[in-house]
Amino acid sequence: MNRRQFIVAGASSVAASAAARALADDPHAEHNKQVPAAASNGPRPWVRNAALIDASADCGKAGEVCLEHCLAQLREGDRSMARCSETVSAMLPMCAALEALAIQGSPHLKALAAVCAKVCRDCEAACKEHAMHHEPCKRCMETCRHCAEACEKAAA
């Protein structure tokens, strides 16, 4: 073995040793192990509630766009957007809370889903009045409908 091969082999050995020590000292190593399904009490909440998480996130994103559109229309003097902006303003924090509780797998998820379904139905109805003329309202209406359906399913 020449000097260059010796140095490369030594460096590789040191790197491998350091990596092994880092893995052994990883305080999260126990959490990173795969847990058998029987031992983990089923899928994690973010897996089990994926449809509800996605529906509430989509509704929130569309609602933010719709609210900004409503506020722009109101600034221009279009008072017909007042109800739409009010219902979207109520829907946004509900969907954010629903998303958070669904991710956490909260025991309060079912109760919140029932209330969120009603809030989303109100927003859907208000946006429906403008859906033919305003794309943000149409998108918000559709996502509110989808979220309300997911909420009603979760609350049942």
Q: What is the reported pLDDT for 46?
A: 74
pLDDT in tens, 78-96: 999 999 999 999 999 999 9
Q: What is the reported pLDDT for 39?
A: 47
d(CA 124, CA 76): 23
Closest-CA residue to 61 (of 88, 85, 84): 88
Q: What percent of the chain has pLDDT over 90?
A: 69
Q: What percent of the chain has pLDDT over 70?
A: 74
Q: What is the reported pLDDT for 90?
A: 97
Hey, what domains does the chain have and what are their CATH numbers?
A: 52-155 (1.20.1270.360)
pLDDT in tens, 91-147: 999 999 999 999 999 999 999 999 999 999 999 999 999 999 999 999 999 999 999
pLDDT in tens, 13-38: 544 455 555 555 555 555 555 544 44
Give the phi and the psi of residue 57 in degrees, each rounded to 5.
Answer: -65, -45
